[in-house]
Structure 1
């Protein structure tokens, strides 16, 4: 092999006249290295060839296939053999290798970052955020181009959501708040659902809903100018389905505006990797937890005794009426809630009931809405919804009947012994929920009316609201939200009402309460006096 290589070298140098200034480079791929060649006696015997290699400034480079290394033979004199052999180091290749290595390392790091980002956001904002890094972003932002384009890109995973944003909620910027003005107090959780969690929050600034509806909402401002709010947000591990449902809920809440018995959207954060919903805060929580915690504190209607955690039937009727009033408002907007349940009705500090959780809501432009799949509240669903996946305003009436059962049973689970898969057959057989122990007969009759098989034979929600108002009137001279006619004409809370009770009647109740308190204090004084007399008599008896 060495002989063949030397012969090729000699032939090349004879056929090509190469000047010593420019020189030449001859490459060989061999199975031996340069050291082997330099120590070979054949090379030492080729004195004429060595002289020619030297004079022509020839470089013989050997690519050794065994180790993928390159060595070079370049004599410094006519008789130089061994010292001319050395490893070949190409600075250009070394620099190129370093650059390629750095680029590969950066690509790996970038891939890891993008992967983590994608997992955290489910791929929602990658392209939008990268676009924000380009020089033209700020210019386009000033020209008003970015807003709509960013929204489309951000909701590319669901074009339907973008439609709802524009069709139902107006311009997103009207509802957007600056996240820097919001403090989420994660040490004060208010509740959690299948996906989202709700925390107490502190918001500083003007509430977007106030500007949009042009009406004072009656939300209490703290002394430092901030508002206590509820903040609903998704956990970092939320999947794409949960994200779509969350954005759908935001879109629906935007179109609702404000109503006394609907949990209002105060503002939202959507132009962020962490979307959030701001709503009114409801310290008493959901109705289901509220009645369960007071299950043993039910007070008889004819009792004049009352205590802080006590609960009367008329209180339950008031909650039922307020919920029916909120549903009536939804029906005027052709909105099917699809998840009317005690867990989705919240109570404010002043005991105002508000329908919440609009994740399953649908706007229907016809009498019937059909949908399959998704997470569904099986035991609250109407028979036609279970069998044919059909939803109407009347299927919400069925759910309201189940809500009444939860309310007047003080939190019992509906159909506790029935498997979800058996619900259609169970209902088709004519079986229904039993009458709760403390439930008035007229209320249970209302429930059974809601559970009729044919949806058009069920009462309308506005009819149910009227019936409940009559029941509430007969239960007390001044029930919660007495002014029904005023509620028909406006969706705003009457500033002349306190806890839903007309202010003049509320003041009368306060006066009565003061009288009862005075009587109670007098009774305590008389009891103490009697105890003192008894103790004195006992002392005298001992003395005798």
Structure 2
């Protein structure tokens, strides 16, 4: 409110200067003063005339004037002058009263007019102050909603969590020394096909298909890694930072690049091939996954999967392939969990498949790292509501256990062949639904064993949920027990 006080002081100063200019009508008051002076002068003249006849009579007496006619004339003259002086005095007093009455009326009229001016200015000042206060309050509320770390994408860092020192040091990637950062690539070696949009990430950055010439930057980082030898002169996916991105989008983009730099190569994570910073639009260069995201892939092959479930002799995608996908995803999430990463946006839409149907976890724009593996945020923003755990919905807490809950919802997406979770429940009713102990129902193409694993991801309290390591081991066992002759899983009994 210090700005309010400053504005108030400036307004009072302006108001005082206005009052200084509002002075009485000097011309009218000068006229009244002159009239009053004239009146005083007339009164003095009358008194003088009253004195002069007496003095003349005295002189005549001392001179011994014996003329009777002159004495008579003097007596008559004195009588006339006395009468005239009395008449003049009465007129002067009446005129003086009229002038004073006029001055009093004019003075009261002027003071009334000045009071109206003061009242009007005070009302105007009050309205201005109210408008300023309302505007400042509006800006504070608006800015609170647009806080860089907490607003649009749940990017706040609270008091009970911290981002690792390496990530903090890497955040300002736009000032990175081009001579020391092996991840940087030259802009002229990256071609972007702007007419082939692949999608949009969680940080509101569009992803396009592209191509690089020569080797990728990751080969400078891991020169002896055989698995990345194919990342040269190849098709890529390019995530572009919008040219007029706001601070939130820019921060998310920086964080995603920083997190991906901190991760080593893993077969079930989308590989970062490099980044371009010497460009009006910074770029994140990723490996290209030609089969797109898992959600649309399953929906496209829905009929094949159903046919394989009903007919063991059919060709195409089968339930066993879905189980394999589930294991691959759990393997990638196990690695992230070991690195202390909380993905926070685990869903079928964020899993990509390459040309060999290998699943790769993508979109690290919402990924966070916490020392105690607990990340708390109090903001709203855009969040994957139907994939969130009950503690996240209720207490805004994220952890590796909340990622496990989301993984269970991902399994539901897979084995329901692309259905929307809680499709018949409104967003506002979701938390009461879960607090009443209710969960997603078993999909038709899901075996009891897989649904049991799925349900264990939704246990409360969170400590009862399995780890990604135990989930990977469980699914690996299920894969071993699958019959190669059927398109569905044969449950084994001990």
Fold in common (TM above 0.5): yes
Give how far 1:294 is off. Answer: 1.2
RMSD value over aligned CA atoms? 2.7
Distance 1:291 1:388 in 2: 33
Deviations 1:116-162, CA, capped at 9 Å, x for gaps: xxxxxxxxxxxxxxxxxxxxxxxxxxxxxxxxxxxxxxxxxxxx899
From 199, 204, 215, the counterpart of 2:213? 204
Q: After superposition, where does 1:321-340 map in structure 2 within 5 Å? A: 321-340=327-346
Q: Is the 8 A contact 1:185 1:201 kept in 2?
A: yes
Secondary structure at the aligned position of 2:245 is classed as: coil
- How many residue pairs are counted as aligned between the two chains? 317
Give how far 1:215 is off. Answer: 3.3
Q: Is the 8 A contact 1:178 1:269 kept in 2?
A: yes
Give how far 1:389 is off. Answer: 1.0
Cross-structure match for 2:428: 421
Does 2:441 correspond to 1:439? Answer: no
Cross-structure match for 2:159: none
Q: After superposition, where does 1:369-408 map in structure 2 within 5 Å? A: 369-373=375-379, 374-408=381-415
Distance 1:188 1:316 in 2: 28
Secondary structure at the aligned position of 1:244 is classed as: helix
Give how far 1:362 is off. Answer: 0.6
Give how far 1:213 is off. Answer: 2.1
Cross-structure match for 1:346: 352
Q: Is the 8 A contact 1:161 1:244 kept in 2?
A: no
Secondary structure at the aligned position of 2:238 is classed as: strand
Distance 2:407 2:390 in 1: 14
Secondary structure at the aligned position of 1:190 is classed as: strand
Secondary structure at the aligned position of 1:251 is classed as: helix
From 183, 188, 211, the counterpart of 2:191? 183
Q: Is the 8 A contact 1:210 1:217 kept in 2?
A: no
Q: Is the 8 A contact 2:201 2:365 kept in 1?
A: no
Give how far 1:303 is off. Answer: 4.4
Secondary structure at the aligned position of 1:297 is classed as: helix
Deviations 1:204-231, CA, capped at 9 Å, x for gaps: 1221112212333545759xx6111111
Deviations 1:9-62, CA, capped at 9 Å, x for gaps: xxxxxxxxxxxxxxxxxxxxxxxxxxxxxxxxxxxxxxxxxxxxxxxxxxxxxx
Cross-structure match for 1:166: 169
Distance 2:266 2:251 in 1: 25
Does 2:418 correspond to 1:411? Answer: yes
TM-score for both structures, normalised by structure 2: 0.60
Deviations 1:45-101, CA, capped at 9 Å, x for gaps: xxxxxxxxxxxxxxxxxxxxxxxxxxxxxxxxxxxxxxxxxxxxxxxxxxxxxxxxx
Secondary structure at the aligned position of 2:431 is classed as: helix
Distance 1:278 1:327 in 2: 22
Q: Is the 8 A contact 1:320 1:404 kept in 2?
A: yes
Q: Is the 8 A contact 2:295 2:413 kept in 1?
A: yes
Cross-structure match for 2:322: 316
Deviations 1:308-332, CA, capped at 9 Å, x for gaps: xx32000000000000000000011
Decide whether aligned partners of structure 1 residues 405 and 294 sit closer, same or farther in structure 2, where only a CA change above 3 A counts. same
Does 2:302 correspond to 1:295? Answer: yes
Structure 1 stretches lacking a partner, 5+ long: 1-159, 480-544
Distance 2:437 2:230 in 1: 52
Q: Is the 8 A contact 2:164 2:370 kept in 1?
A: no
Decide whether aligned partners of structure 1 residues 331 and 221 sit closer, same or farther in structure 2, where only a CA change above 3 A counts. closer
Structure with the greater alpha carbon radius of gyration: 2
Q: After superposition, where does 1:14-413 map in structure 2 within 5 Å? A: 164=167, 166=169, 173-193=181-201, 195-218=204-227, 221=230, 226-298=233-305, 299-300=307-308, 303=311, 305-307=313-315, 310-373=316-379, 374-413=381-420
Give how far 1:188 is off. Answer: 2.0
Which has the larger share of helix? Answer: 2
TM-score for both structures, normalised by structure 1: 0.55
Structure 2 stretches lacking a partner, 5+ long: 1-162, 487-494
Deviations 1:152-186, CA, capped at 9 Å, x for gaps: xxxxxxxx899626358997721110011010011
Give how far 1:400 is off. Answer: 0.3
Distance 1:478 1:306 in 2: 10
Distance 1:326 1:425 in 2: 32
Give how far 1:454 is off. Answer: 0.6
Q: Is the 8 A contact 2:218 2:273 kept in 1?
A: yes
| Structure of higher RCO (CA pairs closer than 8 Å, 6+ residues apart) | 2
Decide whether aligned partners of structure 1 residues 301 and 361 sit closer, same or farther in structure 2, where only a CA change above 3 A counts. same
